[in-house]
Amino acid sequence: MKLIARWASAFGAFWWDFLVGDTPELFFATVAIVVAAVLLGHHDDAGYVLLPVLAVVFLVSSAYRGRRRPRAVTPVDEAKSPDQ
């Protein structure tokens, strides 16, 4: 039973890392856009306008959030630092 639990945990961790990765907001934005597309399936005019607007809003908000995040310092950056 432990083997099955460990396998299921590893399987779930793989899919979480594969689908979500470093940017969970893009995964959830994609899910939201797909759900909106399904809900607007019979409303062509609203879908033509709303879905691209949703995509642009999510991408701009993700880019803004990415710019606000502190950048990790790499060994290459440390070598270029004038502080030394």
Question: What is the mean predicted confidence (pLDDT) over 39-67?
Answer: 87
Q: Quote the pLDDT of residue 8.
A: 94
Q: How far apart are CA 70 and CA 82, in angstroms?
A: 19
Mean pLDDT of the chain, nearest integer: 84
- The tens digit of pLDDT for each residue in 12-27 reads 999 999 988 877 888 8
Which residue in the block uniquely carries the two structure tokens 């961790």?
13
Q: Above 60 in pLDDT, residue 66? A: yes
| Spatial distance between the Cα atoms of 24 and 20, rounded to a whole number of angstroms | 5
pTM for this model (two decimals): 0.61
